[in-house]
Amino acid sequence: MNYEFNWMAVLTGEYRDWIIQGLMVTLKISAISIVLSLLLGTIVTTLRMTKIRVVEWICLSYIEFFRNTPLLVQIFFWYFGSYVILPEAVNQWLYAHDYEFAIGVVSLTVYTAAFIAEEIRSGIISIPKEQMESSRATGLSFIQSMSFVVLPQAFRIVIPTLISQFLNLIKNSSLVMTIGVMDLTYMTRQIESYSFRGFEAFTVATLLYIAISLIVSFAITVYNRKYLRMIKY
């Protein structure tokens, strides 16, 4: 092997700035998608639990469709086909701003929300049904009972699995580079193209993804310990 490693080539100057810029985009698109997917997943689960056949069927169809199709296909679907289903005014607004970033958020959100919906539903099912019946008996509506009684308990149970889904979302965010979002993976690829230092560039990117994953995993561990301690006492 005649290859000479030069780590400083990608850790200094313009290339370092590209990595930082890409990392910030990755964190930004991941954070926005996490919030929106949690909100959408909660809404889908709540509507599914209404036991209204049509609504339940629509929610179930949404979950099964997005859970059983590849994320990359969904990204391309939204990127190349959104102009067909979205109003012209919305398309113009998106193109005037950051269209690729918005499509990346939409793709990650609707995909991850399908998994989150199932995680939350499992938490709701674990709550004794008497709690819902008791809250309804006090005069609360179905939405109020879910919001103030059932969901808070369900979230407390499924937080570790939710964090795992958030971790998957962060890793899946690397796929948005395929539509031109200048995230960490995209910028690393650019560095490789300009400097021919692919090993160094992708090693740095890999370590950054691992660092994010370890931080999230640490959060899961801390939560589990505190939760188990609360149950014990």
pLDDT of residue 230: 58
Give the orientation angle of helix 198-232 with respect to helix 184-195, to 10 degrees: 160
Q: What is the pTM of this model?
A: 0.88
Q: Could you tell me if residue 53 is inside a domain?
A: yes
Percent of the chain residues past pLDDT 70, beyond the cut: 96
Residue 29 predicted with pLDDT over 90: yes
Residue 1 domain-assigned (yes or no): no
82: CB partners within 8 A, 6+ apart = 91, 94, 103, 106
Higher pLDDT, residue 161 or 73: 73
- 165, 119 in Cβ contact below 8 A? yes
Q: What are the pLDDT digits (tens) for 30-65?
A: 999 999 999 999 999 999 988 889 999 999 999 999
How sure is the predictor about 134, in pLDDT bands with cuts at 50, 70 and 90? confident
Res 1: pLDDT = 60
| CATH code of residue 107 | 1.10.3720.10
Q: How far apart are CA 112 and CA 175, in angstroms?
A: 14
User: Is residue 121 assigned to a domain?
Assistant: yes
pLDDT band at 195 (very low <50, low <70, confident <90, very high): confident
Percentage with pLDDT > 90 across the chain: 50
pLDDT beyond 60 at 99? yes
pLDDT at position 229: 61
Residue 5's pLDDT is 81
- Rounded mean pLDDT of the chain? 87
Q: What is the pLDDT of residue 211?
A: 93
Residue 164 within a domain = yes
Q: Pick the more confident residue, 163 or 44.
A: 44
**Is 131 within 8 Å of 153 (Cβ atoms)?**
yes
**Taking 70 as the threshold, does the pLDDT of residue 122 lie above it?**
yes
- Joined together, the tokens standing for residue 42 give 């909660």
In-domain check, residue 163: yes
Would you say residue 3 lies in a domain?
no
At 149, list the tokens: 């009684």
- For residue 100, what are its two tokens? 């690729």
| b/e map 32-44, b = 16+ CB within 10 Å | bbbebbbebbbeb
Higher pLDDT, 123 or 97: 123
Q: Is the pLDDT of residue 232 over 60?
A: no
Total domains in the chain come to 1
Find the domain containing 29 and state its range.
8-232
What are the tokens at 24?
A: 């910030």
Contact 205, 19 (CB under 8 A): yes
For residue 2, tell me if it sits in a domain: no
